[in-house]
Amino acid sequence: MKPVRLDRLLGGMGYGSRQEIAKLARVGGITLDGRDLTDAAQKIAPTPDLPGRMTIDGHPVDPPPGLVILLNKPLGMTCSHKEDGALVYDVLPSRWRRRDPAISTVGRLDKQTSGLLLLTDDGDLLHRIISPRRHVAKVYRAGLARPLEGHEAALFASGELVLEGEDKPLAPAVLERIGPTEARLTVHEGRYHQVRRMFAAAGNHVETLHRERMGGLTVPDDLAPGDWRLLTPDESARVFEEPPV
């Protein structure tokens, strides 16, 4: 990775203005490989191993640009930077709101949908994941107001279902019946409120909705609602894998 000035690197990671970073460096608040960095103009390569090599006030530095976050989104949180109420960004370190490039959600889950949500500051990765050409599978578990009638799987798999207000049919989707009023649905698109609107088109209403999987990624069993973890590049790449059948 191309080296960048220390003050520019840390400023873009939300640690303060360039002047604030320079002041911190002068008083010995920044170390790299155990040595003080006193010159804020020194160029540093923003490699993924930087948190293990650099400290700020004795704490490991945050990951450089290119981070990917897996969040177990709880109910009641909005995937927005601007709306009122609880936001998914509230669970992240506050300085991360000042990062440049900014951290954004990879697609959205509405306020009443829980489960796997990815966030990243890697714009290229974000667009590759949400691109219709990639066909990244998203698996949802839906609790329904009324029992399934038996026609839903064929309707969703037909490739002919047109949602209200649209004119382009949905790509085929796979429905797995879990119980009389519970189903697992695998889709490869990301249209607005798609799963809720699909069941509405089938004459039902979604009461609960939880995203279990994106590609080969699932929420770890030890990750409670509202908790998050950083993914390694190898883990992030699993989003492009097909879920097991």
* Beta strand segments in the chain, E: 4-5, 30-32, 35-36, 43-44, 54-56, 59-60, 68-73, 104-105, 113-120, 138-144, 174-179, 182-187, 206-214, 217-218, 228-230
| CB contact set of 146 (below 8 Å; sequence gap of 6+) | 181, 203, 204, 205
By the 8 A CB rule, do 140 and 211 touch?
yes
**Position 142: which residue type?**
A
Query: At 6, which amino acid appears?
Result: L
Beta-bridged to residue 229, according to DSSP, are: 70
**Which residues are known catalytic residues?**
110
C-alpha 131/C-alpha 135 separation (Å) is: 7
CB 228 within 8 A of CB 92: yes
